[in-house]
Amino acid sequence: MGIENRLHPRIPVNWPVVILTPKGAIKGETRNISVGGACIEYSEEADLNGELQIIFEHSKDQSMSVIGRKAWTGNFNIDGKLAFSGVGLRFTEISREDRELISSLEKDI
């Protein structure tokens, strides 16, 4: 294992997510999240440039909306076959309440 260089630890989650782009909504699943960003798995082609609104459905009754930018994208293969496409998003706008919610999850890991 290498040394962790992130400022905030990533918390594994399985939250449905919608990324709103100028060309429409992209549905996916959050693989992990921190107060600074998230890794999201998705299966459709997407233009993820510029500012993006990201809506995380962290429970049946609550969602969290943040603004972010793409940090990286990639295709992940298992046994030579495409397993999933993913994007790392860096949050540029997140409310204090949403930061506190994510921070509270860090205490559980």
Query: Cα 19–89–45 angle (5° rounding)?
Result: 50
Mean confidence (pLDDT) of the chain:
86
Tokens of 99: 């930061």
Contact assessment for residue 52 and residue 21, using Cβ atoms and an 8 Å cutoff:
yes
pLDDT tens digits for 72-107?
988 777 677 767 788 999 999 999 999 999 988 876
Distance CA 49, CA 13 (A): 24
Please state the length of the chain.
Answer: 109
d(CA 107, CA 50): 32
